[in-house]
Structures are given as C-alpha cells and as structure tokens.
Homo-oligomer: A and B are copies of this chain.
Amino acid sequence: MKSLVLLVEDDIDLATTIIDYLQLEDIICDHAANGAACLQLIYENQYDVILLDVNMPRMDGLTVCKTLREQGVETAILMLTARDTLEDKLAGFHAGSDDYMVKPFEMLELVARIQVLSKRRSGQSMLLNVDELKVNFSEKAAKRAQRDVLLSPTGWILLETLMRKSPQVVSRRQLLQAVWGDESPDSNSLKVHLFKLRQQIDAAGETKLMHTIVGQGVVLRKKIDG
C-alpha cells in the first residue's frame, strides 16, 4: 500500500528534492513550509509519517512535535536535522518523535525508515475519525456517537476510501476502482452499496456526514459548504 507522508521543511529546494525522490518510491508526499501549515494539513489528512525539520524560523520542529503530541496526534514523527549532538537527539525523542535522522542523510535510508514507520502504524490499530464517526479498521469496529455502525465487506472498502480522502470529494470513478479494480459490474451496484452505507452512517434524525455532490462524487465531512 502507498504511504502518505507530510514533509515539514522551510528550505524549499531541499523539500522539492525530497518530494521528487519519494514519489519515485511510491510515497506520496505533502509539503508544509512551516509549523502552522503543518497543523492545518494534519487536521485535514491522515498521514502515515510526518517528516519534521527541526530548524524552522517561527515555530521550531521540537515545539511542533510537542504540540502535536499534546493534541493527541499519534502519527509517527521522524525528525530531520543538522544537529547531531546527543542532547539534540534526546530532546527530539523527549518531544515525542519516533526516529531521528541527521542531515545530510541518504535518501534510501530515509525511504527505509519511512517504510518501517508506516508499517508499524498499519499493524497497530488503524484509527480514523470524521466528526462523530470513529472507525477502527483493524478491529473492524465503527461507531457514530454511541451507535454501532454495521457494514458489509464492500461497505468497509467504501468507508475506508471515503475516510482516507475526507474532507475531499471522491468521484464515483474512484469508488468503482477501489471496490472492483478495473472490471466493475453494472454501475447501479455502486448506488446500492452507497445507499446502504449511508443508511448506517447517517441514521434518521442525525446530521448528515455523507454527502453527494451531483456530478462530482461523494464526500464524508461535517458540513457541505466547502
């Protein structure tokens, strides 16, 4: 499975180099140039690993790391820094990072460490949530508020696809691909599966979390205004 990582790095040249390289290795890499942008992206996406530069102008990497941990973000964090003294490393681990690499580093080693960190996470309880909807994929347990959400195998695939992209809209084309790969049956089947999924996620009287955007696709999010 492809890894999705976030690179937080103020040096644009270095960032570009890293991003380009990771793409070749099937690692999708978002980029934030500073701590604030980082927090925003983490709120919107579900990353496997966060690559965090320590030396950044306003909010430094250690602070970002601590902040994330305090907010309950459990995503694996790999610190990237030119500082290689023991004190710096310990400070990094103490702030809650999972790994620490000293610049300049080899790209292949970075790739290897990213893969280890994302593997760890997928082995653990893979937890996603959108507003009231909390889903644990490894336990195959989904809840909306207090209520159990019961899903068929196809329902799980659709839910996972929608949650991973949330709050982005997912086209029906992508959903077909996610469930059936290249050979999909009569497209009406997807309609039925989406109907059943919607029944489970948005029960009578609840605020809708699953929205259809005509001609665009389906999206899972709190409000539809975006």
Chain A residues at the B interface, C-beta cutoff of 8 Å: 74, 86, 89-90, 93-94, 97-99, 106, 108-109, 112-113, 115-116, 120, 122-125, 138-141, 143, 148, 152-153, 156, 167-169, 213-217, 219, 221, 224-226
Neighbour of A141 across the interface among B120, B138, B140, B226, CB < 8 A: B226
Q: A215-B152, A225-B148 are in contact. Are A123 and B74 (CB under 8 A)?
A: yes
Neighbour of A93 across the interface among B112, B143, B153, CB < 8 A: B112
In the complex the two chains form, is B99's CB within 8 Å of A140's CB? no
In the complex the two chains form, is A169's CB within 8 Å of B86's CB? no
Interchain CA distance A35-B119 in the complex, whole Å: 25
Which residues of chain B are near A112, meaning CB under 8 Å?
89-90, 93-94
Which residues of chain B are near A123, meaning CB under 8 Å?
74
In the complex the two chains form, is A168's CB within 8 Å of B138's CB? yes
Sample (10) of A-B pairs whose CB atoms are under 8 Å apart = A74-B123, A86-B109, A89-B112, A90-B108, A93-B115, A99-B116, A139-B219, A140-B213, A140-B219, A141-B224
In the complex the two chains form, is A86's CB within 8 Å of B106's CB? yes
Neighbour of A116 across the interface among B98, B108, B214, CB < 8 A: B98
Interchain CA distance A138-B164 in the complex, whole Å: 13
In the complex the two chains form, is B124's CB within 8 Å of A124's CB? no
Q: Which residue of B lies closest to A166 (CB)?
A: B139
Q: Which residue of B lies closest to A116 (CB)?
A: B98
